Amino acid sequence: MNTNRNKGHGLERQVASDLKVLFPYVQTSRAASRMADNCAIDLVHVPFLIQCKAGYNNNRPKYEVEFDKVDERIKQHFPKDHVVHSLPFLLIHKPNAPKGHGRKEKYTQVTMSYAYFNWLLSNLDKSVVEKWPVFNI
């Protein structure tokens, strides 16, 4: 049994479950769309292209490599004017925790383009931002 593959599928299900609050129709592509799965997109019915990676110790997935893989496959499977080409790409990765630390959620990360990160920040409600703690020296 491929434990890294199982960890990856488990992460896909966890992320889908977490996103259901905002996106009630989210599904793993394995369950919903063979075409999306063939494009290395792990979750569908959300406004992102999400690739989930889990179960590794050292060689972390590289955002640019995963982005290029998804981008190339999307170009092969979808027409040029399809909305999928405008969606932001998110790489969610959950490495194995260091020995003795268990599977701590603090090690799970999301990598996105800086442009999309800035877009998210610029679209935050000001009242939410005002409540955030600030580190001052």
Bridge pairing between strands 49-54 and 89-94: parallel
Percentage of the chain exceeding pLDDT 90: 54
Residue 135 lies in a domain: no
Query: pLDDT tens digits for 103-116?
Result: 667 788 999 999 99
Condensed to tens digits (0 to 9), the pLDDT of residues 69-94 reads: 999 999 999 999 999 999 999 999 88
CATH number where 19 lies: 3.40.1350
| pLDDT, mean of residues 13-29 | 92
Q: For the range 62-70, what are the long-range contacts, defined as Cβ-Cβ under 8 Å and sequence gap of 24 or more?
A: 63/91, 63/111, 66/40, 66/91, 67/91, 69/40, 70/39, 70/40, 70/41
pLDDT digits (tens, 9 = 90+) for 50-66: 999 987 777 888 999 99
pLDDT for position 106: 78
61 located within any domain: yes
Quote the domain boundaries for residue 46: 3-130
Q: How many domains does the chain have?
A: 1
- Intra-chain end-to-end CA distance of the chain, in Å: 51
Residue at 137 is within a domain = no
Is 97 within 8 Å of 57 (Cβ atoms)? no
What is the maximum alpha-carbon separation in the chain?
52
Task: Look at residue 136 and tell me if it is in a domain.
Answer: no
Ranges 26-35, 49-58, 67-76, 95-104: which has the least confidence: 95-104
70 falls within a domain: yes
In a domain, 68, yes or no: yes
- Is residue 41 in some structural domain? yes
pLDDT class of 4 with cuts at 50, 70, 90: low
